[in-house]
Structure 1
Amino acid sequence: MKSLLIKLTHGLSEQDTTEHELQLIGEWLSKNYLTYKDNVYKFHSKYRAGTLGLVQNNTAYLHVIGENVKDLYIDDIGVATEGDLIIAKRLLGKRGTPAATIAEIVGREQTYSIGYIIEKYGHRSFVDLKTEHPVGAELSEEELNSHNLGDLFKIDNFENTVVEFLGNLDDPLVDEKIVLAQFNKHDEFDEEVLKLAKSFPEVDASKYPKRKDLRSLPFSTIDPVTAKDFDDAICWDDANSVLYVAIADVSEYVKPFGPIDDEAIYRSFSIYLPHRSIPMLPRELSETLCSLQPHKDRLSYVFEMHLDRESLEVVHSEVYEAIIHSKRRFNYEEIDLFFEGKLKPKNSDEEEVLDAISKLKPITDALREKRLKIGFDFRSSEIEMQIDEQHNIVSTHEAEETPSHSLIEDCMLLANKEAASRYDRGIFRIHEPPSQAKLQVLYQELASIGIQIEIKDTVKETIEFIQEQARDLNLESEVDTLIIRAQMQARYAPLNYGHFGLGFDRYTHFTSPIRRYSDLIVHRLLKAINAGDTAEGSYVLRNIESLSMAISEKEREASTIEIEFMARKYARWANENIGKEFKAKITATDPELRGDLKDEIIGAKLQLTAHDNFVLFEDVIVRIDKVDIARARIFATIVRRVDV
């Protein structure tokens, strides 16, 4: 529902509507919420759609979706509740705060939620997992008593119905079902989608005479050791200073309006949990035919970039459809060993590939050095978690950024920049500068730990001055985390606003179409531009505003799922360690005291209580007191400071 409201805010072409959407559109047209002109449906200027928030004393604010405008004040919400999706009528000509009245409640911002059975004061209730408020759907007295306490159910908030029994809260295996169900994510694909994905034959180069044949070039892939979907391959021609970045040509198989495309739009991103992935595309494509596997002919979309060795600028580039044949699949650890002189080639193919990689490394090192003169180098840590077959934590560790990661990163950044340079309207990856309000909060937090704030000519210079002091205090990662928190969230947009964090004037995502729908759209757009196909280009751009917003929202959903799953694992681990003491670091003092576990297990978020005053980033010993498994919250008390 929210996706449809966003589309109607920007204008939805009749030919792009589904049967269900047309039914709703017909109803709303009859109520004059919409206009219909040139085969496009759009909200009438008097109406706005949004989410109800900040409910208090029967008043609320409508957070308008689909456009960047001020919230609308509503002074009588009637039967509406916080989180409802609303079509509202603007009150025009009224002085003061922009206001509106509710025209219709059309759904809930969160289409699905999780309900579970609890017992309070000797009475069983069916409540929301996160709030413990009654859910819209109901279970009869008989149903409540026939199930166990802690039994979990997926709820359709629009229909107010129980959709699915998920399991019991006591079972660690149910955590995955919880985090996926709240956003209606699933691993399985419909039979129609799978049938089509399985129907594509293996690549026969003779069937693609118009593609550039690059099979003789020493391409290789470099990925995590656990990776199964290989989006990108690289090849460095040192003699001619040419970098080839070959990307899986997903658009050859996933056509607009087809069943695979419909499912890919719905998913928009692959989701990565510690033990497995939930792919955007069927595995028959993502892990086989599209994946740039070694020793197999594969269709790819290639950026050929000619570099000037002095300036490190791309002096000429082409993007075209090709066929490649990867000589070797490396993991990051292998390439790092090679850089350390601990891995030798085993055959002529490996010798050719590794020789090219050794000559590429000084180029990417120089590209990185140049990039960091205008962009930022943040050292916030990413936690990797291992779980056992019962989905309990085995171990955690900080992911390490190594030379092999940096080499691949700068190759991909170069290709992404080149892609963004080829159009003025499409999909851009934008990152706007932080607001002054957020910067002021950041400066206050840093001043509290003794970091001097000196406002320089630019935000970049100010932040780099802060980072220098953080290094002296051995708080690089912690301070960088605060700086990142103060920034705007990167998102997708149809027009270019630059990328503040990277320091790039133009940037997009081109290099991962197997796992990101944004990249697939960029491929389609570039192909249309190359072919001079204005009709195809117009199709790709037709609903680009609403598509950009929808993809950005799907990205946040995927991130929330990944973070929440780990939070639930941490909570179960903590529940087995109540009363025990561990090392932790203070990560927030206002509005409440919070910390991160820094012991045998790292990264768990703690809500802390203390009988003394503590400062930001202080190392402490905490005792785990209580765990709320349902909400994945860990409560601990600070026992003492860590002796330095």
Structure 2
Amino acid sequence: MSERDITPDEQIHITNFLAKKYITKKDNIYKFNSKYRAGTLGLVQKGTAYLNVIGENIRDLFIDEGDLGNAKEGDLIIAQRLLGKRGTPSAKIAEIVGRAQSYSVAYIISKDGRKALVDLKTDYPTGVELTQEEINAYDFDDVLKINNQENSIMEKLGNLKDPLVDEKIVLAQFNKHDEFDEEVLKIATSFEAVDASKYPKRVDLRKLAFCTIDPVTAKDYDDAIYWDDKNTTLFVAIADVSEYVTPFGTIDNEAIYRSFSIYLPHRSIPMLPRQLSETLCSLQPHVDRLAYVFEMKLDLVSLEVTESKVYEAIIHSQRRFNYEEIDEFFEGKLKAKNSSEREVFAWIKKLRPITDALKIKRLKIGYDFRSNELEMEIDKNSNIVSTTFAEETPSHALIEDCMLLANKQAAAQYSRGIFRIHEPPSQTKLQLLYQELAGIGMSIDIKNSIKETITDIQNQAKEMDLEAEVDTLIIRSQMQAKYAPLNSGHFGLGFEAYTHFTSPIRRYSDLIVHRLLKAINNNDTEEGSYVLRNIEALSMTISEKEREASTIEVEFQQRKFARWANENLNKEFKARITTTEPEYKAEIHDEIMGARLFITSAENAVLFQDVNVCIDKVDIAKAKIFAHVVKGSDVQG
């Protein structure tokens, strides 16, 4: 880090780190001493963890049992490298410099006949000092947001008995909020509608029959596509957010803080103000929109991109389709209503066999994982109406391979920037996976490559009708994909280099990639270096924010399931055992799908057995459902 980027508040820590020899200073640049690294602690499993190291081209460090101290997942750590130790690069914790949980949620319970304030997830005291009189001002089950740095109450969120408080709980733990500051909204509403005459340098693509294909509930349309069959050229047009959101401006600062849009069953918490995300930037149909476009010429024999270029353009989408409509078209159930739809359907029909072939080619090296994505519908009172597992259809596959192609091309444009990396799994994790699968009767044959071994496992899973379940186990055995300033490949996709280019409305990483590509195209080295300043810390930050957004989305669903289960105590449901070590867990596959259960009595059930369970009790505060396997239930191995 450059000395000029350090604030007075940060200088205190810099001086401290210099004194402890964690860092060194040379030519007004601060760097870590070779013996030390900083990073965030990854998932803690059986007393061990990996440190997600901040920096360029530096592998994550393994922290063994006994070297963790009292560090928790997500904490910011200074670690001392254990040099000379054979095997996986490892380290021990030198200092915890920041806790992952700056905010938490607490509630009022009865303890020893008196009211007490305890953490919602642990039931431990919060550290907030309150008089009994202050506590008595609250009702039992009142839910409060806590500032852990100051050990103070920030606000009352509601009461645990009210299902509407669930959303506030999951957002409060990471200090997320929907509202934007007045200054941010003022800037967002100040932009004028797109006037093509004001952008003479942009490539005018308004005559091309672009369309968008998104979920039926989508409001923010990041991407539009067009296939020029005559010239075998794919156009992927992406919302040009960087035209409106400038580096280090007011909107940009808020976008960095959020880094991702969050999608709950009933609404979204956007990264950008809705005036941009759902209107001006969104590639809506029948209006002119600014876009950043990858134009890629394909060789239909090799399926390689032979030429590609990226440029600023203006497009005019002809139609907004949802996935179901395109699937109906592929099935011959949807006909064009007008000439523009006829034109779109004509090129989509020709594009599909090409994207199908691209997928077949991709999966020869990369992986095809079937992990069930849960879709939940809730009513106005925030209770579950229904749940289903989403299935990938031809329309999803078509869009996915178009986006993968653009993302891959973007990553090929630079050597330092934002990459989406996914490291191969460790041999230790693979051995644990193989042991687990052998336990359900699979014959594990170690092939010449991980790819061949995993493919053989997936083929066996298909025969056993356990594709999604086994794929979930395989995914768990892998390293977590993340953002990094230098490329180290993407194991899951099988790509040598990959990034995120196609969703700048909802992911901050993509906005950085757009800015960098524009600087490169304009030979603007000053702007390029400006974009890349502190790129290591930014990569780590957006990786953390991604995990936060995912946690919020999953935890919200679990809270809804807990409330549903509480209304169905002592009732029996069909379920499948999903975990046997270190404890039994199951997932309901019945009128409601996807609710996770802690099994109190399993009757010797084995992994992936289908069983009948009876719901015993529910902990609404912790969103945990407890059940037992019913004796004599009809299990199918």
**TM-score in same-fold range (> 0.5):** yes
Matched, 1:338 2:302: no
Query: Does residue 265 of structure 1 match 2:249?
Result: no
Matched, 1:421 2:412: yes
In structure 2, the gaps of 5 or more residues are none
Q: In structure 2, which of residues 589, 594, 604 is the aligned counterpart of residue 613 of structure 1? A: 604
In the other structure, the counterpart of 1:477 is: 468
Shift of 1:617: 0.6
Q: Residues of 2 paired with 1:611 and 1:504: CA distance?
A: 42
Deviation, 1:75, is 9.4
Which stretch shifts more, 318-327 or 464-473? 464-473
Distance 2:477 2:20 in 1: 43
Larger deviation: 123-132 or 563-572?
123-132
Which residue of structure 1 lines up, in the alignment, with residue 207 of structure 2? 216
Q: Which amino acid aligns with 1:537?
A: G
- Are the equivalent residues in 2 in contact too, given 1:72–1:100 (CA < 8 A)? no
User: C-alpha displacement at 1:480, in angstroms?
Assistant: 1.2
Q: 1:423 to 1:351 in 2, by over 3 A?
A: same
Separation in 1, partners of 2:124, 2:583? 24
Contact 1:419 1:510 in 2 (8 A): yes
Over 3 Å counting, the alpha-carbon distance change for 1:308 and 1:74 in structure 2 is closer
Question: Is the CA contact (8 Å cut-off) linking 1:116 and 1:129 kept in structure 2?
Answer: yes
Q: Deviations over 1:95-144 (max 9, x none)?
A: 99966765xx7542211011111112212211111111111222221111
Aligned mates of 1:74, 1:373 — CA distance in 2: 41
Q: Distance in 2 between matches of 1:53 and 1:372?
A: 29
2:308 equivalent to 1:317: yes
Contact 1:624-1:636 at 8 Å conserved across structures: yes
The residue that corresponds to 1:561 in the other structure is 552
Residue of structure 1 aligned with 2:618, choices 584, 608, 627: 627
Aligned: 1:287 with 2:275: no
Aligned residues of 2:54 and 2:540 also touching (Cα < 8 A): yes
The answer to whether the 8 Å contact 1:154/1:166 transfers is yes
Question: 1:610: Cα distance to partner?
Answer: 2.3
> Could you tell me which of 112, 116, 126 is aligned with 1:125?
116
Deviation at 1:387, TM superposition (A): 0.4
Q: Does 1:13 align with 2:5?
A: no
Q: How far off is 1:634 after superposition?
A: 0.5
Distance 1:253 1:363 in 2: 34
1:405 and 1:89 map into 2 onto residues whose CA distance is: 43
In the aligned structure 2, how far is the partner of 1:488 from the partner of 1:475? 22
Distance 1:60 1:246, change over 3 A: closer
Out of 157-166 and 316-325, give the one that drifted further.
157-166
Paired residues in the alignment total: 626
Matched-pair contact (CA < 8 Å) for 1:48–1:64: no
- The 3 A distance-change label for structure 1 pair 533 and 473 is same
**Partner residue, 2:99:** 108
Amino acid corresponding to residue 135 of structure 2 in structure 1: L
Equivalent position SS for 1:386: strand
Shift of residue 74, structure 1, vs aligned partner: 9.3
Does the 8 A contact of 2:577 with 2:585 survive in 1? yes
**Residues 1:447 and 2:438 are matched in the alignment:** yes
Change in 2 beyond 3 A, CA 1:124/1:581: same
**Cα–Cα, structure 1 residues 53 and 325, in superposed 2: closer, same or farther, change >3 Å?**
closer
Q: How far is 1:471 from its partner? A: 1.4
Where structure 1 has 5 or more consecutive residues not aligned to the other structure, the ranges are: 1-11
Q: What is residue 343 of structure 2 aligned with on the other side? A: 352
How far the C-alpha of 1:254 sits from its partner, in A, is: 0.6
Q: Could you say if the C-alpha distance between residues 344 and 439 of structure 1 is closer, same or farther in structure 2, counting changes exceeding 3 Å?
A: same
Whether 1:187 aligns to 2:141 is: no
Match of 1:405 in 2: 396
Deviates more, 1:66-75 or 1:482-491: 66-75
- CA-CA distance at 1:370 after TM superposition: 1.1
Q: Does 1:642 align with 2:598?
A: no
- Does structure 2 retain, via aligned residues, the 8 Å contact 1:73–1:99? no
Alignment match, 2:134:
143
**Residue equivalent to 1:5:** none
Shift in Å, 1:642:
2.2
Counterpart of 1:299 in structure 2 is: 290
Amino acid in structure 2 at the alignment position of 1:118: I
Q: Aligned equivalents of 1:450 and 1:425: distance in 2?
A: 46
1:454 & 1:94 partners in 2: Cα distance?
A: 34
Contact 1:76 / 1:101 at 8 angstroms: preserved in 2? no
Letter in 1 for 2:465: N
Aligned to 1:532: 523
- 1:28-47: CA deviation from partner (whole Å, max 9, x where unpaired): 67887665544444556676
Contact in 2 for aligned 1:294/1:327 (Cα 8 Å) = yes
Distance 1:118 1:528, change over 3 A: same
Following TM superposition, by how much is the alpha carbon of 1:630 offset from its aligned partner in structure 2, in angstroms?
Answer: 0.8
Deviation at residue 474 of structure 1 after TM alignment? 1.3
| Residues in 1 aligned to 2:545 and 2:143: alpha-carbon distance in whole angstroms | 24
Which amino acid counterpart does residue 383 of structure 1 have in structure 2? L
Corresponding residue of 1:437: 428
Q: Is the 8 A contact 2:298 2:305 kept in 1?
A: yes
How many Å separate the matches in 1 of 2:297 and 2:171?
Answer: 44
Give the aligned residue type for 1:531.
Answer: N
Task: Map 1:46-85; keep pairs closer than 5 Å.
Answer: 66=54, 68-69=60-61, 71=63
One-letter identity of the residue aligned with 1:13:
S
What amino acid sits opposite 1:424 in the alignment?
A: S
The 3-state SS of whatever aligns with 1:360 is: helix
> Mean alpha-carbon deviation: is it higher for 252-261 or for 633-642?
633-642
Shift of 1:425: 1.1
Under a length normalisation based on structure 2, what TM-score does the superposition of the two structures give? 0.92
For the structure 1 residues 153 and 318, does the alpha-carbon distance in structure 2 shift closer, same or farther, using more than 3 Å as the test?
Answer: same
Identity of aligned residues (%): 68
Stretch of structure 1 that moved more, 473-482 or 222-231: 473-482
Q: Distance in 2 between matches of 1:596 and 1:281?
A: 35
